[in-house]
Structure 1
Amino acid sequence: MTHLMGKAALAALATAFAGEAIAVEWNVSVWGQRRAFTEHIEKIAELVEEKSGGDFTMNVSYGGLSKNTENLDGISIGAFEMAQFCAGYHRDKNRAITVLELPFMGVSSLKEEVAVSKAVYDHPAVQEEMEQWNAKLLMTSPMPQYNIVGTGDPRTTLDDFDGMRVRATGGIGNAFESVGAVPTSMTASETYNAMESGVVDTVAFAQHAHLSFRTIDIADWWTENLNPGTVNCPVVVNIDAYNDLSDENRAILDESVDEAIAYYLENYGELLNRWEEVLAEKGVEKVQISDEVLAEFRETAGKPIHDAWIEEMSAQGLPAQELYDLVLETLEKERM
């Protein structure tokens, strides 16, 4: 009897260990603090834990695992299973998705931003480039058009932009450079001190980042309608970790993406509704750029930069024209 009970106990113990082995815990590398920009990540972590009954969990780390500019490198070596990064941080590592950061592409809503990002992420050339970093594109982090905050007198003409030191990355940085500004791609967490100390005159961000990184706290003005473009910040997963998931957990992760994005859009919409109150509370002047100046800016920083990107990326073997056309065709479909 004792021998039989021993066998039963061992069997129960083996079952318990098997159950533990099934449990999956992912580390997720982001930066800054929890904010509108990371709500889809927080939501997907909540969803996978709930749907898996606790067998699949995610630990979201805000800067504890890696610098934001090194998240793609961390994914490539398996230092963590999931991460967020922005294409402008290392354009040479993610050339194909920089089509989404070209200035004045005409994206006018978060919904359109989600659509064009998904279309580009699904393109074989984009996926192949990401595979070089052992990364699978999971979802985008849609952001509205960037606008700049600054101190001192408002910048309302292209002449005012000449010599302006602006924190701007990717295509937005290229746009400002084309009209004589001096862009710098410092990390978001460095912008407050840079602006306070006068290292930069202005900072280009979406609204949530002006709030999260406190640039709005020291701003005198904000351009309400400059809208030069936005940055593209994917959430990626390590391919090996993704493939190692059970079929059930992989399905849970995949099916939770749309729910997480929907939650993100709803949450960001609430932030945009509060933005006017924030400007009034902090005494920040809303600056309207004239239609004439905007047209001049688009002419200088739109098509010439688009054409240069297509030529450069094509020379590097990417289907640049195809990716560029894909963005425009997706926008057209979204508006039908």
Structure 2
Amino acid sequence: MKLFGKLVAGATLGMSLLGGAAFAQSVEGPEVFWRISMWGNPRALSAGMEAMAEHVLEETGGNFRIQIFYGGQLSSARENLDGLAVNAFEGAAICNFYHPGRNPAWMVFSLPFLPLGDPEIDRQVRARLMEHPAIVADMARWNAMPYVSGLLPQYEILGRGDAPTDLSDWNGLRVRAGGGLGSAMEALGAVRQSLPAGETSTAFQRGAIDAAAFPFTYAHVAFGIDEEADWFTSNLTPGTSECGWVLNRTAYDALPPQYQDLLMSQRERIMEIQQAAYAAQDEINLPAFRENLVEVIYSDDQLEEFREVAGRPVWEAWIAENQDDFDAQGLFDAVWEYAAEAEAAQ
């Protein structure tokens, strides 16, 4: 149990561990300790998983303990899949565009202008995609299984220097943006830069990049991008990505069925907590952005032009590139099908 001395300061799980013996047990089972690998600090993205870990601890009377290790203590952001493959830990957060060749189907989440702008539709679509055969197969290659979406909000961009008030102003700007978002920015003439979130603030300080796309607004603040920026876009909404949570397949299969059921019963609650945490951050961050940075708002005509040059061409190129490896067209169509069904059900 020496690992419990390494609890990250500020993690909500810490207080739960101290009182674990006092919990009323409703799920019987053996003592199990799981480690989840995560980069960066505790933030809105991890709020749901922290709540899940606390709930599991309570329900099992302290027997099933889950700790999220932050700051890349267990693995770097780009190597979490490798760690799962060799059973180095029991779960991890992954960002699909950190290793596109390793999770090619997951790159569908990063295509620009998908119908995921409505938070409720977004949650329903992503929950169903976590069970799509192509998404499951990507993780199976790494001894992993999809658990729950990170539900990252739509991206916006913060940057230094002159604000790009016209689409032509993006020409030549070095923009941190991965996956299809990176392709969308390249369509505007920007130079795509791909680097982990934790390295972005330093890249600004070194003058290596001019702008960075992150989930708006929480991630910009979580990684200190707002401290480096002069301006921000507020309605570009080029798309999002998937920084979701996956579990080690070997570890999951080794759990007793009641622990497996307990984990799976928490997925909807995790997503609800994450979305609430993102919204709470926006209420704090957006006014601060408007007070301290130049806000860039594009006209409807400019946004339509952006979608024309960076929407369908990027979709078609991604499908053509991947169709021989998996049913890329079917996966892409599933996104729109699930979104239409979710909208019809509202």
TM-score, normalised via structure 1 length:
0.91
**1:34-183 equivalent positions in 2, closer than 5 A:** 34-62=42-70, 63-183=72-192
The aligned residue for residue 31 of structure 1 is: 39
Matched residue of 1:234: which SS?
A: strand
Q: Which residue identity is paired with 2:332?
A: Y
The aligned residue for residue 331 of structure 1 is: 339
The question of whether the paired residues in 1 share the 8 Å contact of 2:32 and 2:65 is answered with: yes
Matched residue of 1:33: which SS?
A: coil
Report the CA distance between 1:260 and its aligned residue: 1.6
Q: Which residue identity is paired with 1:223?
A: T
Report the CA distance between 1:327 and its aligned residue: 0.4
Report the CA distance between 1:40 and its aligned residue: 1.4
The aligned residue for residue 271 of structure 2 is: 261
Distance (whole Å) between structure 2 residues aligned to residue 325 and residue 157 of structure 1? 32
Structure 2 unmatched runs, 5+: 1-28
Aligned residues: 315
Report the CA distance between 1:110 and its aligned residue: 3.0
Distance (whole Å) between structure 2 residues aligned to residue 110 and residue 43 of structure 1? 20
Report the CA distance between 1:227 and its aligned residue: 0.5
Report the CA distance between 1:158 and its aligned residue: 2.2
Distance (whole Å) between structure 2 residues aligned to residue 26 and residue 276 of structure 1? 36
Distance (whole Å) between structure 1 residues aligned to residue 110 and residue 134 of structure 2? 17
Distance (whole Å) between structure 2 residues aligned to residue 288 and residue 116 of structure 1? 28
Report the CA distance between 1:113 and its aligned residue: 2.4
Distance (whole Å) between structure 1 residues aligned to residue 227 and residue 121 of structure 2? 30
Distance (whole Å) between structure 1 residues aligned to residue 174 and residue 294 of structure 2? 20
Provide, for residues 177-196 of structure 1, a one-character-per-residue CA deviation record: whole Å limited to 9, x for no partner.
Answer: 12211011111111111112
Instruction: Tell me, yes or no, if structure 1 residue 218 matches structure 2 residue 228.
Output: yes
The question of whether the paired residues in 2 share the 8 Å contact of 1:109 and 1:144 is answered with: no
Identity of aligned residues (%): 38
TM-score, normalised via structure 2 length:
0.88
Matched residue of 1:74: which SS?
A: helix
Instruction: Tell me, yes or no, if structure 1 residue 304 matches structure 2 residue 313.
Output: yes
Q: Which residue identity is paired with 1:54?
A: G
The aligned residue for residue 229 of structure 1 is: 239
The question of whether the paired residues in 2 share the 8 Å contact of 1:76 and 1:134 is answered with: yes
Structure 1 unmatched runs, 5+: 1-20
The aligned residue for residue 258 of structure 2 is: 248
Matched residue of 2:200: which SS?
A: helix
Distance (whole Å) between structure 2 residues aligned to residue 111 and residue 69 of structure 1? 30
Cα distance change of structure 1 residues 179 and 280 upon mapping to structure 2, 3 Å threshold: closer
Provide, for residues 263-300 of structure 1, a one-character-per-residue CA deviation record: whole Å limited to 9, x for no partner.
Answer: 1122222112222222145x112110122221111111
Report the CA distance between 1:315 and its aligned residue: 2.0
Q: Which residue identity is paired with 1:334?
A: A
Report the CA distance between 1:172 and its aligned residue: 0.7
Provide, for residues 34-87 of structure 1, a one-character-per-residue CA deviation record: whole Å limited to 9, x for no partner.
Answer: 011111121111111111111111111011100011111111111000100111
